[in-house]
Structure 1
């Protein structure tokens, strides 16, 4: 099953997988067999079904599953569709996450990666090795519209193959399409200083961005219109650079900000305000943040080498202190990425951290307040810039698991986190400046990387 005609059937299978935890919750084997049989049937019928019928089937099945397992929760929002998409996704995942946590308690030494026992998952991925799956070599396209100004972040839209955006110190964000012909579809202009970070809403209709100009902006992605401009002072933050921002994964009406003054604030983007208790203070500049899959734990890393964890009140947005963990005293923590493994063979939530001490580190989450236990370290050239890394999106279905990081040696590094020795399985060399950020599309067919000269390279995986 291949080509554009297969996309809807892949979405149907993904929909079934989201609801799978609700089917015979005490019979894991049946749920696994169900998904495998669904995959087989979808592949067989995809060849002889009209595209319009496939789309209608997806719509009807989504409605039936919602009726069978409960209605989608409602919440107020600037764009209610964003909220509904977020709540729906997280509610369906929550029971699976609880199941994973139960397994962690029973088997505390389980590796935070898919293991060699993952026969069914490997079959779904084609049974290829990590090196084969991540043999990126050819350049699909190069965007140089920010040339002369350092790129700061690149991110594919959620569950999208061909839509991404990247930001720059020129104060703009470019939204790009890759196929059928690479092009910039919109430029988000309005910040008066460099854009330091941005985030897509779960339904991709909104982008939130922050800047060295001490403001947050909310953008409509289809029109490029700025819907809201919020100054730091209006939400009780110091008038200084904001380094990172996140949509709350359960409620996209809330956005979390972190700035140079060490302040973290939760902002309601409908009202442009914050509330008492929806803030925190770190000892250093907040450079990176990440939520866990449930949206109940927030990690924040600073320029002192410390990660602070907080529990997040989903109803009020209030933050409560969890743990304070010294990762590398005096070294900036430029990126934090969180991942809950969607695999019955490996159920540990994991956190990936870029440390400006020439290391990329992997941690296992050990409690519901975000305590981290160190598992692996990987050598990466990194001591000055705010470089970022990413988990590979399909790693739960691979033999082994891979993470990818930017690097100051102008390369993109792939690490197999199961390999005991020589974990680097690929290194992409094509940039002529420090690589700042990397991002996968949803099916891992494309990888994007950007650098300090403002160049964005789209890499295509070898077939």
Structure 2
């Protein structure tokens, strides 16, 4: 079963490159792959055969699309399954082939994020300009990045054409919003009124297609599964729930073991059969979605109420932000769900950590894995991830009005393909802010005004054509970014 999960994870990582003009096909592809892998998971098949299949498939996909930094970081960043991942990675050094199918020895170098970068024999480490994105040393003079961005500044690339639509289906604050993975027009919202809503932005006019009802109190957080077939939610009624967004049905209820409000939740990114929740009494719990039971060894305690959770992309590190201003990292065993304590950092003592977002690399000039953190001391902080245990080092901080509410932020999804890197955040002064993380002065590149209440959360769809923001009055604004031509 573990090899099947690795196969699915491999397909999920490369899925962005499939069916570029029709993202719905990517979703259908992953759903079908999930179904087939579930069917063969319990069959009596030699594990060596499955590992060999994983190995060959990885080579084919890497040759077709190029090596992926997140994929290559599996070996070095995994703490619980090194033998399985290692056996796949090690063979890369000699199996690369040329156009005639003849094996050619490749070169590799160790990157700052702990991954190996593989280069063809005819490419040296001194080449910077106008080469394929993978296997190139990043440089601030990269002309390719500027051409991809249409020769526009970062601020011009985040200019907006106005409001695409305004939703007001919730009677109380909208606490969190998220576009479905690889979906341009499907948006979910959670609210303090105890419901979630699923919105479709196409066909026009946009509409609310489904309400998820069942919680008896405010919903503080939710998350989409990788294939968008499930949603998990966390509520102060002391439960987390698993939903089918297509039917609106509640599939399972997870009652908190300590009978206290549940404030945060996340799917395990490589194994959506597991979810992680954090409660008001400083406990983190791992559940099996099939059985509804706690995973043995999947419980840990923090220094305060767990307000935010974030996984590293390979699922082997979990970061937890609490009400005491601390971030704790835990090593997550994907096979068993066990948690092992890693590092602890005090960001701002006594100030809530209301949001954590992970990004494997910022842009061509800054490839360090990073965390974006909202702290209730009027700061948005960007941290580097410095080792395999999740230790952090502060890179930048930005002033944002944030003192008492659950403000959230997000990395901009396409920032790795152009010069400069941008993040976006809500604020208590009713504005949406965009910051260039590489700019030392005047880092605010744009500011959106339109809300009449504090903005709690912001999110992008996968191609950055639409940005959604929500506020404490229950209003959701979908902003339309100006369309520009890119020379890709």
Is the shorter-chain TM-score for this pair beyond 0.5, marking a shared fold?
Answer: yes
Paired residue for 2:308? Answer: 288
Q: Tell me the matched-pair count.
A: 392
1:129 paired with 2:124, answer no
Matches within 5 A, 1:369-448: 369-448=389-468
Q: Deviations over 1:144-179 (max 9, x none)?
A: 0113x1111000000110001001011000000112
Paired residue for 2:263? Answer: 243
SS in 2 for 1:325: strand
Q: Deviations over 1:80-126 (max 9, x none)?
A: xxxxxxxx99x97653325998310799xxxxx97524433443343
Measure, in 1, the Cα distance between the counterparts of 2:142 and 2:382. Answer: 21
Paired residue for 1:103? Answer: 111
1:137, distance to aligned residue in structure 2 (A): 4.7
1:398, distance to aligned residue in structure 2 (A): 1.9
1:343, distance to aligned residue in structure 2 (A): 5.9
1:229 paired with 2:205, answer no
Q: Deviations over 1:223-263 (max 9, x none)?
A: 1111111211xxxx211111110000000000000011000
SS in 1 for 2:356: strand
Measure, in 2, the Cα distance between the counterparts of 1:199 and 1:360. Answer: 22
In structure 1, runs of 5+ residues without a counterpart are 1-13, 21-34, 77-87, 108-112
Paired residue for 2:330? Answer: 310
Paired residue for 1:10? Answer: none
Instruction: Report if the CA contact (8 A) 1:206-1:221 is conserved.
Output: yes
Paired residue for 1:150? Answer: 173
Q: 1:268 to 1:19 in 2, by over 3 A?
A: closer
SS in 1 for 2:144: helix
Measure, in 1, the Cα distance between the counterparts of 2:356 and 2:220. Answer: 15
Measure, in 1, the Cα distance between the counterparts of 2:376 and 2:41. Answer: 39
Of 146, 155, 165, 1:141 maps to 165
Paired residue for 2:236? Answer: 212
1:460, distance to aligned residue in structure 2 (A): 0.5
Paired residue for 2:184? Answer: 161
In structure 2, runs of 5+ residues without a counterpart are 1-9, 43-57, 62-66, 78-109, 116-136, 484-488
SS in 2 for 1:152: strand
Matches within 5 A, 1:249-264: 249-264=269-284
Instruction: Report if the CA contact (8 A) 1:114-1:401 is conserved.
Output: no
Instruction: Report if the CA contact (8 A) 1:361-1:378 is conserved.
Output: yes
Measure, in 1, the Cα distance between the counterparts of 2:235 and 2:274. Answer: 18
Q: 1:266 to 1:417 in 2, by over 3 A?
A: same
1:365, distance to aligned residue in structure 2 (A): 0.3
- TM-score w.r.t. the length of structure 2 is 0.74
Paired residue for 1:4? Answer: none
SS in 2 for 1:275: strand
Measure, in 2, the Cα distance between the counterparts of 1:115 and 1:15. Answer: 30
Q: CA RMSD in A?
A: 3.3
Measure, in 1, the Cα distance between the counterparts of 2:457 and 2:39. Answer: 34
Measure, in 1, the Cα distance between the counterparts of 2:345 and 2:210. Answer: 41
Matches within 5 A, 1:270-281: 270-281=290-301
